[in-house]
Structure 1
Amino acid sequence: MKVLVTDPIAEAGIERLREAGHEVETAYDLEGDALLDAVSDANALVVRSGTEVTEAVFEAAPDLVIVGRAGIGVDNIDIDAATEHGVIVANAPEGNVRAAAEHTVAMTFAIARSIPQAHARLKAGEWAKGDYLGTEVNKKTLGIVGLGRVGQEVAKRLNALGMNLVAYDPYIGKERAEKLGAELAPLEEVLDRADFITVHTPLTPETEGLIGEEELARIEGGYVINCARGGVVDEAALARAVEDGVIAGAALDVFAEEPLPRDSPLLDVEDVVVTPHLGASTEAAQENVATSIADQVLAAFAEEPVMNALNAPSMDANAFPRVRPYIELAETAGRVAVQLFDDQISEVEVVYAGDIAEEEIDLVTASALKGVFRPLEWQVNAVNAPRIAEDRGIDVSETKRSQSEDFQSLVTVTVRNTDSEVSVCGTLFAGEDPRIVRIDGYRVDAIPGGRMVVTRNTDEPGVIGLIGSVMGEYGINIAGMYNARETIGGEALTVYNVDDPVPDEARERLEEDPRIIETRYITLSNDEDDIDPVRASITE
């Protein structure tokens, strides 16, 4: 597999990919057509903040499996476009958390004690001891806007230095905040109470300009520190607030436009400290994010959960071995169900019963959807299958049941509309041996794989012989047969595993016999030419 790296990352990450046997190409400062040409045959793209990964990039890269951001922020990646194209987007949020937190603390002290200003004047030959009267952080109130990973690490460090903590974060629980020594409060209250405000939110439509002129006025006489993402704080309003004495000072490591333009008003205000996005610039942090994103690329190549995927189901690494066999089972059940269904789908239901109901099943459900859409879509995977369902107006539901009547675990995929439905149940024998055990209530014991023929017929002598004879006439070898019936003389359902493709003429011959109610040819191969043309046409 080919990995394209378009922004510099630590060599440790590149070596990890090469040691795993993959080709790694580094090409920095690419843009426009040069980037599109370079990514055209890539299976993975690794970036930092310098590469804009737009919809055009995904259009140009049909084999792309994953885009890895060696860092936290992903505002340079079009995640919606990635999802549409079935490409995983992952970041490395853990690798530089400590470095970003430490830089935030350093910037807090730098602005509170005017360290850069005093340093510059002393270097220029001035002994300006009397010009700077610093602020101690002890017993001051720190307002934390965004109590995520970095915000929590900052909270731990500055709480230990004697600061009182008040935080705004609508996505964190009161209990977790209290464990960190922080009191949760609305944003306005945090701004009113804090002597120092530190920002730790991603840049989203909701957070862009979150701290503007009105918010800065509430921090009267205080300090603002932003080492998170540029654009969360209105930079022009911040420069004015510091220059006019509304707030005492500010320290920023991130900016709405990077590199920071020479005409930025921030550069003209002495009590604004700026650094060129150094939050993650430590040797340890760079190595951590590089190896973390390399590991996620390798996981994506191996079709394993990507731990920090932003647009795909994920799960704890310890849980994955227990769930892994059900991922393929659910996909298979979905593929069988949709090829037995003869109408437009309006709903997909996945029911988990028994032990599997105790596990994280988002990835399993996504795989079931992948199976349902596989015969209908040119490119579908667990990333874009939920989006395909949404775009098609197909309702998706999950149900968990602690008990399974006959099996330790059972996964049932049902496709339906208002007029009809088909259900396929699968389980695992001996740990990882998949079986289809029910089709629409008929108990079978079918090995899913390759090519299958499913017939519904009246339960009477000679029918199975007829089917075998017709298969033989067309040179189709039967590898296995699994028969079930409602009642003696009622309707029966039989699943045949076959070694060869089944032509339309063979099915037509079978259905000429009045005892044959229906014949379905199912393929579980990945050969595009082997998909049932009837099923492949149901895309309206």
Structure 2
Amino acid sequence: MKVLVTDPIADAGIEVLREAGHEVETGYELEGEALLEAVSDTNALIVRSGTEVTADVLEAASELVIVGRAGIGVDNIDIDAATDEGVIVANAPEGNVRAAAEHTVAMAFATARSIPQAHVRLKSGEWAKGDYLGTELNGKTLGIVGLGRVGQEVARKFDSLGMDLVAFDPYISEERADRLGAELVGLEDCLSRADFLTIHTPLTPETEDMISDEELEALGDGYLINVGRGGIVDEDALARKVDDGTVAGAALDVFAEEPLSEDSPLLEHEEVIVTPHLGASTEAAQENVATSTAEQVVAALEGEPVANALNAPSIDESAFPRVEPYIELADTAGKVAAQLLEGRVEGVEVTYEGEIAEEDVELVTASALKGVFEPLEWQVNAVNAPQIADDRGVDVTESKTRQAEDFQSLVSVTVSDGDEEVSVDGTLFADEDPRIVRVDGYRVDAIPHGKMVITRNTDEPGVIGLIGSVMGEHDVNIAGMFNARETHGGEALTVYNVDSEVPEAAKDELETDERIIGVRYITLNGQS
């Protein structure tokens, strides 16, 4: 498959892709119409921060399976549009964690001890020893905004330097913060108590300019460090607060617009230290993010779970072999149920019984939804199926029970239109052999593959013979048959595997017989 890399990554990542048998093309200058043309036949796209992956790009990439971000920040990728198009977005959050944390420590020391300023003056011939009185970090309080992966690594490093830690993060538990030696507090308290403030949150509409005049006033005579994402700190406000002495100093590696403009007010102040987005610029970090991203691309193209998918169900690599056989089974059960339901799908329930109920089944449920929606001719996969359900107001429920009466594991998909519902149950026999074992409570043993016909009829002599005769008259060969009934003489349900499409004329002929309650032709595995 074709992988397009539009921002430079380490050679180790390119090698991972080529060793997996994929064609790798690079286009580091692509933009506009040239980018749209280049992605038109691309199966995977790898970017860093330089490429804007917009809705237009995603729409143009009709063969795209995954966008891999070689790094942590994804504000240059339209994740909502990717989800709508069924494209996985994955990043490499671990690869540069240590590098970013180390640069944060370096920037803190640099601003606390005026290292760059003293360096410049000494190189110009000035021995300015008396002009700089530094601040020790030991015994001071570090405020951390954002206790994600980098924030946690930063907490560990500064804790070892003898600093007290306070942190603001509405998405982390107090227990986790305690384990890091940090006191979890509100933003205002974090700012007012901090001697040094470091920021490690993603850039979102909620965090844009989160640190502005009021927050910097609360920080007071402290130091601000940002090696996270540009745009979170209001740069004009910071320049003003450093200029009037409210803030003692700042060290920034990231900016709202990069490269930093030559007329930025941040460049006017000696107390503001700036570096050109060097947080992840170590040899080890670059290799780590490249190989991590490449490995996720390879997994996506092979239909395996993607470890750091941001918009798709993911699963631990060690658990995937136990869950994998149920993915297609759930997809098939969803397809059968949706094609049996005559009304509009308004609700989907996926139920797990037995051993499968003990597993992480998010990916299996997404596959069941994919199966439900696929026969309705929506462009759907496991990435966008949950979003399609939400967009269309389809109520989705998932339930688990470790008790299974007849099977070691059972997956059930039930679809409803508000009044009527259809339920299809599947399991795995020996050697991971998938079977449909119940349809609306009727016990069957059907092989879920290819083309199927499901009939409901009265349980009386001659009906199955009639069905076989009509099929034969229309050149439809029956490859297998599985029959079940409620009671003797009651209603029966039969599943037929057939070798060719069943024409409408055959179904019409069958349904004219009063003993035939209904006939449904079902296609699976992409057949028609």
TM-score above 0.5: yes
Distance in 1 separating the partners of 2:128 and 2:214: 34
Give the structure 1 partner of residue 159 of structure 2. 159
Distance in 2 separating the partners of 1:455 and 1:377: 23
Q: Write the deviation string for residues 138-196 of structure 1: whole angstroms up to 9, x where unpaired.
A: 00000000011001101101100101101111111111111111111111111111100
- Percent identity over the alignment is 75
How far apart are 1:418 and its partner, in Å? 2.1
Distance in 2 separating the partners of 1:192 and 1:288: 37
2:351 is the counterpart of 1:319:
no
How far apart are 1:29 and its partner, in Å? 2.3
Q: Is the 8 A contact 2:73 2:91 kept in 1?
A: yes
Give the structure 2 partner of residue 526 of structure 1. 526
Give the structure 1 partner of residue 76 of structure 2. 76
How far apart are 1:109 and its partner, in Å? 0.5
2:378 is the counterpart of 1:392:
no
Q: Is the 8 A contact 2:354 2:403 kept in 1?
A: yes
User: What's the Cα RMSD here?
Assistant: 0.8
2:287 is the counterpart of 1:293:
no
Distance in 1 separating the partners of 2:381 and 2:467: 35
How far apart are 1:404 and its partner, in Å? 1.1
Q: Write the deviation string for residues 360-415 of structure 1: whole angstroms up to 9, x where unpaired.
A: 11111110000001111342101111111111111111111121111111111011
Q: Is the 8 A contact 1:143 1:194 kept in 2?
A: yes
Distance in 1 separating the partners of 2:309 and 2:29: 25
Q: Is the 8 A contact 2:412 2:426 kept in 1?
A: yes
How far apart are 1:353 and its partner, in Å? 1.1
Distance in 2 separating the partners of 1:54 and 1:214: 34
Q: Is the 8 A contact 1:457 1:518 kept in 2?
A: yes
Give the structure 2 partner of residue 415 of structure 1. 415
Q: Is the 8 A contact 1:29 1:50 kept in 2?
A: no
Give the structure 2 partner of residue 258 of structure 1. 258
Give the structure 2 partner of residue 96 of structure 1. 96
Structure 1, unaligned stretches of length 5 or more?
A: 531-540
Distance in 1 separating the partners of 2:149 and 2:381: 30
Give the structure 2 partner of residue 536 of structure 1. none
How far apart are 1:111 and its partner, in Å? 0.5
Q: What secondary structure, in the 3-state scheme, does the structure 2 residue paired with 1:506 have?
A: helix
Q: What secondary structure, in the 3-state scheme, does the structure 1 residue paired with 2:191 have?
A: helix
Q: Is the 8 A contact 1:29 1:51 kept in 2?
A: no
Distance in 2 separating the partners of 1:126 and 1:41: 60
Q: Mean alpha-carbon deviation: is it higher for 352-361 or for 92-101?
A: 352-361
1:34-433 equivalences in 2 (<5 Å): 34-433=34-433
Q: What secondary structure, in the 3-state scheme, does the structure 1 residue paired with 2:376 have?
A: coil
How far apart are 1:209 and its partner, in Å? 1.1
Give the structure 1 partner of residue 435 of structure 2. 435
Quick one: which amino acid aligns to residue 205 of structure 1?
P
Quick one: which amino acid aligns to residue 368 of structure 2?
A
Q: Is the 8 A contact 2:8 2:28 kept in 1?
A: yes
Distance in 2 separating the partners of 1:185 and 1:29: 45
Distance in 2 separating the partners of 1:362 and 1:20: 27
Please list every run of at least 4 consecutive aligned residues from structure 1 whose deviation after the TM superposition is greater than 3 angstroms: none
Q: Write the deviation string for residues 67-122 of structure 1: whole angstroms up to 9, x where unpaired.
A: 00000000000001001100000000000000000000000001001011011111
Distance in 1 separating the partners of 2:242 and 2:430: 69
Q: Is the 8 A contact 2:413 2:425 kept in 1?
A: yes
Distance in 2 separating the partners of 1:247 and 1:392: 50
TM-score by length of 2: 0.99
Q: Is the 8 A contact 2:168 2:185 kept in 1?
A: yes
Distance in 1 separating the partners of 2:224 and 2:156: 18
How far apart are 1:431 and its partner, in Å? 4.9
Distance in 2 separating the partners of 1:405 and 1:243: 74
Quick one: which amino acid aligns to residue 44 of structure 2?
A
